[in-house]
Amino acid sequence: MNNSSLLGPWIRRFLIEYLVGERNLAINTQRSYRDMLMLLLPYLAAKVNKRIDRLTVDDLSAQMVRLFLTHMEEQRHCTVSTRNQRLGGIHALARFIGEHAPEYVDWWAQIHLIPVKRTSRPEISYLSRQEMDALLAASDVNTAQGQREHALLLFMFNSGARASEAAQLKIGDVDWHTRSVSIVGKGNRHRRCPLWKSTLDALRSQSEGRAADAPVFLNRFHQTMTRSGIHALVKRCAIRAAANAPSLAGKNVHPHVIRHTTASLLLQAGVDINTIRGWLGHVSLETTNIYAEINLETKARALATCEVEGSAEGQKQWRDQPDLLTFLRTL
């Protein structure tokens, strides 16, 4: 067995050369690939009765990949979207190996033929302006902890930042003169967002006396907030806010819901979709268009502009037009 047939060295190259070197993917995306491999390799080793370090590329056959995906759905009870995400990682690994080793081109083609499953688009949840106001008012700003909570929630609502983006925000990223902030998003892509004066004041209160490279948001132990810490904070505030906004009790409020809320309220305010795309840091406009599709208020306004005034009486109906079929045949 030569080293080029072993799967382990290929995986190491894939993680270092492709994910980091070529794609420069965000750390959370890299962890997603890692998690996929940590599930796949033990499963594959057990199926072919080998140690993980002795697995070969040929052991990862298309049939084995299909069995692994079935195992993910039936034994681990993963959703179809999770199953497709794992398959996407396997497709990327197979493509990397096939592009660097011509002898595995046919193997790569077989893996590539495994299709993703169709899945319904998950419903996007967002808050009304009244619910968002209640969430912002849920913290006692007379306490240091309440001030930290309020500053974080206000910043996330203002900027539409993801939890990871808020966690890694540095004091030096805030431009106090232009009232804007530079946010590092997925793939290390930078975007700049304007800030309200209230947001700027809240961030200043959290930043005074600290260095420019220090994180803006700290927890109660004065340590950098983590994504999980931000998730827990948002949920705590949502539970308190439900006392003044009962509709929140039936919603799963998390940081991404605040991001969805920012996009939806910008859309309702008449901000064009391309500006919202830049505001949120979406690479594709198709991602931002989701908000236009689910926003009922915007749909209602669009429908109102198309409404036909007056009665339909006296107007010629389609069924009364004898030349309709003739017209359709000309299309």
Q: Which residue among the candidates 83, 148, 260, 282 is catalytic per the annotation?
A: 282
Write the CA distances from 89 to 101, 111, 118, 187, 278, integer angstroms: 18, 11, 17, 17, 27
Q: Where are the beta strands (DSSP E) in 29-83?
A: none
Q: Where are the beta strands (DSSP E) in the chain?
A: 174-175, 180-184, 190-194
Q: Which residue among the candidates 86, 148, 259, 277 is catalytic per the annotation?
A: 259
**What residues pair up with 56 in beta bridges, in sequence order?**
6
Question: Does the active-site annotation cover 282?
Answer: yes
Q: Which residue among the candidates 86, 150, 162, 260 is catalytic per the annotation?
A: 162
**What residues pair up with 174 in beta bridges, in sequence order?**
181
SS3 content of the chain, % helix, strand, coil (to 5): 65, 5, 30
Question: Does the active-site annotation cover 235?
Answer: no
Nearest to 290 by CA among 303, 302, 276: 276
Name residues whose C-beta falls within 8 Å of residue 128's C-beta, 6 or more positions apart in sequence. Answer: 247
Residue 10 contacts residue 57 (beta carbons within 8 Å): yes
Question: Does the active-site annotation cover 66?
Answer: no
Structure tokens at 198: 């209230």
Question: Does the active-site annotation cover 162?
Answer: yes
Q: Which residue among the candidates 95, 112, 186, 240 is catalytic per the annotation?
A: 186
Question: Does the active-site annotation cover 91?
Answer: no
Q: Which residue among the candidates 100, 227, 231, 256 is catalytic per the annotation?
A: 256
* DSSP type of residue 181: E
Distance of CA 262 to the CA centre of its chain: 14
Question: Does the active-site annotation cover 316?
Answer: no
Residues involved in catalysis = 162, 186, 256, 259, 282, 291
